[in-house]
A and B are shown apart, each in its own frame.
Chain A
Amino acid sequence: MPSALINVPAKAKRGEIIEIKTLMSHIMETGYRRTATGEIIPRDIITSFACRYNGVEIFRADLFPAIAANPFITFTTVATESGKFEFEWIGDRGFSETASASIIVE
């Protein structure tokens, strides 16, 4: 299972804007490179990323071959209630990974 790093503040005030940072381990092979013998190295990238906050999708991104290896995606949201952030990465060759992080909103 590939490694992922998630940074969500453990606590926040209600209504506060919080920053969420995610880093997923992935080679992001573009599909445009060739081996020494001239064969194309097949594309192997993450194609989509989504984040749900207590079940509601709050962020989604499509990824393309120009994105570097180990995609680092950060975004902000408003802390509305305590609960769970769920992250999902989907990609080529059946790549599918999930991660989650909790937050306490006071």
Chain B
Amino acid sequence: MKFARTIAIAALLTAAGIGSLAATEIPQAERRSGFSFMSPDTKAIQNDDTANPGMLSVLDGEKLWNSNANPTNKACAGCHYDVGAMKGVAARYPAFDKTLGRPINLEQRINLCRVQHQQATPLPYESRDLLALTAYVAEQSRGMPITAGSDPQLQPFVAKGFELFMHRQGQLNLACANCHDDNWDKHLAGSAITQAQPTGYPLYRLEWQSLGSLQRRLRNCMIGTRAQPYDYGAPELVELELYLMSRAQGMPIETPAVRP
């Protein structure tokens, strides 16, 4: 088994090596959500809101949205009223924050809101509560086309994210693009490689048995290439998120998506 995997990786490295400099972005017409790579069974889980375990987190998020358990006694709903006001928000994040002078993702926006307007402590990355709130907010944009990255102020950060995407790193010396641009139609150890279109985050991964953020996915990939992953919330991860969302512009939000 181990031997076979070594061969598979070696073959991939050879294939990637040839086209390394010629890595091209996926043409608009050939873009596909990770959903289209899934088995009919897994698609059925995502398509049925009473079978999609991500919906459990959305329900948890709804409770948190209406909870005023913080020093100001003000719930999210206290300022934003109906959650319908959040429609379209997830489609344009990561967005530029004027005060910080850089892009922040939806999780960071929620935590800034908690600190500034609720005088509450920020929720830790990947905590159930932060994922649930993010999923609840993002679910409001379900079906809406992604617009992230169109703000001109974001251009330098999209460019940085693109550089990171093309940058080889780790012991396997792989860039994101070596798999997700050059070999997305192939398989790695039996799994579809896919195009890295972040249409459904936070999403429920069957392997994780829980909801997870795009940053968790990115860190997983980096560990897979045996690189040192960036810390949660690191500017590099946000820039990567931003680039990935901008390459998926126009594709519909699927949150909470299900992936194998």
Residues of A within 8 A of B (CB): 2-7, 21, 23, 25, 27-28, 68-70, 72
Contact = CB atoms under 8 A, between A and B. Distances in A.
Nearest to B54: A70
Given A3-B59, A3-B60, A23 B53 contact: yes
Contacts, number: 40
B99 interface: no
Contacts of B59: 3, 5, 25
A5 B55 contact: yes
Given A25-B56, A70-B56, A7 B209 contact: no
A72 B53 contact: yes
A6 B50 contact: yes
Contact of B210 (A4, A7, A69): A69
B113 interface: no
Given A5-B55, A23-B56, 17 more contacts: A2-B56, A3-B56, A3-B60, A5-B50, A6-B50, A7-B48, A21-B48, A21-B51, A23-B53, A23-B55, A25-B56, A25-B59, A28-B209, A69-B209, A69-B210, A70-B209, A72-B53
B254 to A, nearest CB: 18
Interface residues of B, number: 13
B124 to A, nearest CB: 16
Contacts of B55: 5, 23
Nearest to B204: A70
A96 B157 CA distance: 49
A4 B58 CA distance: 11
Interface string B204-237: 0010011000000000000000000000000000
Interface in B42-90: 48-51, 53, 55-57, 59-60
8 contacts: A4-B56, A21-B51, A23-B51, A25-B53, A25-B56, A25-B60, A68-B206, A72-B51
Contacts of B209: 28, 68-70
Contacts of B49: 5
Pairs A-B, 9 closest by C-beta atoms: A7-B50, A69-B209, A3-B59, A25-B56, A70-B53, A3-B56, A5-B50, A68-B209, A21-B50
A52 B166 CA distance: 57
B139 to A, nearest CB: 14
Interface centre among A6, A27, A70 (most CB of B within 10 A): A70
Contacts of B210: 27, 69
A2 B206 CA distance: 19
Interface centre among B49, B51, B53, B55 (most CB of A within 10 A): B53
A68 B56 CA distance: 15
Contacts of B48: 7, 21
A6 B59 CA distance: 13
B205 to A, nearest CB: 11
B210 to A, nearest CB: 6
